[in-house]
Structure 1
Amino acid sequence: MNKAQLIDAIAAEAGLTKADSKKALDALTKTISDVLKQGDKVSLVGFGSFGVTERGARTGRNPQTGKEITIAAKKIVKFKAGSELEDAVN
C-alpha cells in the first residue's frame, strides 16, 4: 500500500474527504518526526511505539574494492509493534 492508497483507506474508514485524510496523515507523520528529532518516544497503545537509538561507529568493507572503511555513528528509528497489532496480524 502506498501513501495515496492509505489516504483513500483512511477517508473511507473515517468518513473524511481525501483532502482531510491527507492533512491528518501528514500531520501525524510530521508530529512523530518532530518528537523523534527531540529524542523522545512515541507510544500508541495497542499499535506500537517509535523510538530513536544510537548506532555506534564501526568498521566495514567496500564491497567493490574490499578496502576497509569507517562507518560513522548515527541515530536510527526503531518501531516495536504493540500486542493488539501483533494479534491482528496473526
Structure 2
Amino acid sequence: MIRSELIQKIAEDNPHLYQRDVERIVSTIFEEIIDAMARGDRVELRGFGAFSVKHRPGRTGRNPRTGEPVEVEEKHVPFFKTGKMLRDRLNETD
C-alpha cells in the first residue's frame, strides 16, 4: 500500500471527512514520526511496532567489483521492530 492508497482508504471509511483533511492528517502523522526520529526519539505505536534510530559506526568495507578496501562513514539508520499484535496477525494460520 502506498500513501495515496492509505489516504483513499481512510477517506472511504470516513465519509464525513474531506479528502484534503485526510491528506493533511496522514502527512502530519508521518512528519511527526520523522521529526521524532530525527531528534533521536523512539516512536512506539502499540500493537503495530516501534521506530527507532540505530547508529552504525564507520568501518572499512570492500568494493564488491574490485575487492579493494573502501572507508564507509558512520551513519544513523532507521530501525523498525514489529509489535506483538502485528507479528501474531502475520503468523495466523488459516
TM-score by length of 1: 0.88
The residue correspondences of 1:1-90 to structure 2 (distance < 5 A) are 1-15=1-15, 16-90=17-91
Superposition misfits of 4+ residues, deviation over 6 angstroms: none
Shift of 1:54: 0.4
Could you give the per-residue CA deviations for residues 38-80 of structure 1, whole angstroms, max 9, x where no partner exists? 1111111111111111011111122233221000110111111
Mapped partners of 2:12, 2:36: distance in 1: 28
Report which stretch shifted further, 9-18 or 70-79: 9-18
| Identity of matched residues, % | 38
Mapped partners of 1:14, 1:56: distance in 2: 46
- Number of aligned residue pairs: 90
Mapped partners of 2:72, 2:7: distance in 1: 37
User: For structure 2, which runs of at least 5 residues remain unmatched after alignment?
Assistant: none
User: For structure 1, which runs of at least 5 residues remain unmatched after alignment?
Assistant: none
Q: Counterpart amino acid of 2:43?
A: V
Report which stretch shifted further, 16-25 or 77-86: 16-25
CA RMSD of aligned residues (A): 1.4
